[in-house]
Structure 1
């Protein structure tokens, strides 16, 4: 039996963002088609410890991720992703923080490619933490950027992210901003990657046509988006049971009557029957589902196990 253990550098060198996006896109289609056994994740200590699992019936392969979250440390996410397949003795263990950042970025890439206007190229990113770089990379992979504005409560962290991404974004206008409300005014795409407990900006601050990705709020007590935005937008989610259990903004909007459950479309369903109207606002809300981790783990397994 072989155990292949992969750290951040191994994963980054092996998987491009485009590969991650393609893998996660296929995973969402399979999820909509019923190919997965995927229980809602186990949440301990109010979200500080998470356990996620997924079984892909067609390939008889499975993934289990265990992680701890602590936003006061770097990295904030620590843990492991374990991938195995029935009939094989060898398995793969990968760094959960890197897999989580890649698969979350990839999901945003899938949704942005589906929902953002074809010519969209101005991105405002709110939140410059560990998930932020892959949010930008994923959007840039499907909608080449002309402008990036980074907003963070800590201006130094926003500037550091801009400097980190600058070599990857030649020709792109890069700058920071202190105020989210003014920073989203001219955006064509907005990515929210914070641990906020109240909306980051009012609905009125956004342009009439914009695509918004929200990845940060993963507990019922957290919110990044206002009810009014959800009420006036096409809302696509990663998975219904997951957002009803964990998404603070979806739960709040349902409780206030701003939206109804029928207004929510799962991403896998939207990929098979895409919304055709790019003239209105669109929102992608994700709390993260185990299928995404499975998709990245399988991609790594194909690269590191099959050749051995």
Structure 2
């Protein structure tokens, strides 16, 4: 037994022990912001996200300089890594896409966003990745078409293919940036019986239409006569589905229609018909990214309906360097890029830590 006043002999610190103490949990908690979904949404509106993305482009960021996204197939879905450096900010989103999660009552998209200091490269914050994605995805779409909305004089008429979270979030984001309420919003569903509570399926019996139709929109079935009627009136068409074939015919929409195509993001899938791409001005985030991932673009080029030289860049549209023709359709094909998460996350962190 050692005496009560015994002291252990002093021994040199093992290699790296000081570093391990510096990286302890208490250091992490005191030096990092941990932002959950509620906090993110409390400091950032959809319009704020739109403005954050626009500001990054106006300030000179070129999406062509963005870091590469990595998509890894895994047993139950996909693992996505999306790193980026914008201005003085550095960040990476780590997300999983679980294909079986809806059957378990879980979200398809889950993950986190990790931010770093631009000078020291030390971690500075962790954000809820799904919440960040929910904000930035429709914001990207709206940034790409906002200059084209000037061609419409009155309240907008929207048609939205897809009744999931992306469909409704696109409506909410557009509503947050336009100056007056929509004339009408119509969702298109291939399975109306699966529509959630935030949209209402419009049957032939008017008494079945709920009160939320007024605030959110009505729903028609894909392929129905009602769909043909609303498409001919639509100012803006949002395609937010995993479809692999065109959702509508090219002659179903007006010559000045504005189309967002964001649901399909593989080179073999498309939501927009090639004939519409042929007569439209087509905007993409980045040419090389579009040629790798944007099936609407890849397939239209393969069919001879479009050429690489026809593509307009999102940054040029936002900066006013691209001339838009209001007599032609405009199609914005977006697949999502890492810089977009970081541009929004930087503003979220700044506001949350004031």
Please indicate, yes or no, whether the TM-score normalized by the shorter chain is above 0.5.
yes
Q: Tell me whether 1:149 sits opposite 2:186 in the alignment.
A: yes
Cα distance per residue 1:120-176 (max 9 Å; x no partner): 50000111112222211122223341210011222144452326xxxxx99668311
* Paired position in structure 2 for 1:128: 163
* Paired position in structure 2 for 1:177: 220
Inter-partner Cα distance in structure 2 for 1:226 and 1:36: 26
* Paired position in structure 2 for 1:248: 295
Inter-partner Cα distance in structure 2 for 1:62 and 1:173: 37
Counting matched residue pairs gives 301
1:35 to partner: Cα distance: 8.3
Q: Tell me whether 1:275 sits opposite 2:310 in the alignment.
A: no
2:48 equivalent among 19, 27, 51: 19
1:208 to partner: Cα distance: 2.1
Cα pair distance change 1:86/1:159, threshold 3 Å: closer
Q: Secondary structure at the match of 2:217?
A: strand
Higher Rg: 2
- Where in structure 1 are there 5+ consecutive unaligned residues? 164-168
Q: Secondary structure at the match of 1:235?
A: strand
1:90 to partner: Cα distance: 5.3
* Paired position in structure 1 for 2:146: 113
2:236 equivalent among 189, 197, 213: 189
Inter-partner Cα distance in structure 2 for 1:12 and 1:103: 11
Cα pair distance change 1:173/1:131, threshold 3 Å: closer
* Paired position in structure 2 for 1:64: 92
**What is the TM-score when the length of structure 1 is the normalising length?**
0.89
* Paired position in structure 1 for 2:118: 86
- Where in structure 2 are there 5+ consecutive unaligned residues? 1-27, 201-211
Cα pair distance change 1:185/1:157, threshold 3 Å: farther
Q: Secondary structure at the match of 2:327?
A: coil
Cα distance per residue 1:32-65 (max 9 Å; x no partner): 6448842231111198222111112x32x11101
> More displaced, 148-157 or 203-212?
148-157
2:37 equivalent among 1, 5, 8: 8
* Paired position in structure 1 for 2:272: 225
Inter-partner Cα distance in structure 2 for 1:121 and 1:99: 27
Q: Tell me whether 1:49 sits opposite 2:96 in the alignment.
A: no
Cα pair distance change 1:186/1:158, threshold 3 Å: farther
Conserved 8 A contact 1:29-1:269:
no
* Paired position in structure 2 for 1:166: none
Inter-partner Cα distance in structure 1 for 2:99 and 2:261: 18
Conserved 8 A contact 1:150-1:158:
no
Q: Secondary structure at the match of 1:161?
A: coil
1:214 equivalent among 258, 261, 275: 261
Inter-partner Cα distance in structure 1 for 2:64 and 2:129: 20
Inter-partner Cα distance in structure 1 for 2:263 and 2:328: 23
**What is the TM-score when the length of structure 2 is the normalising length?**
0.78
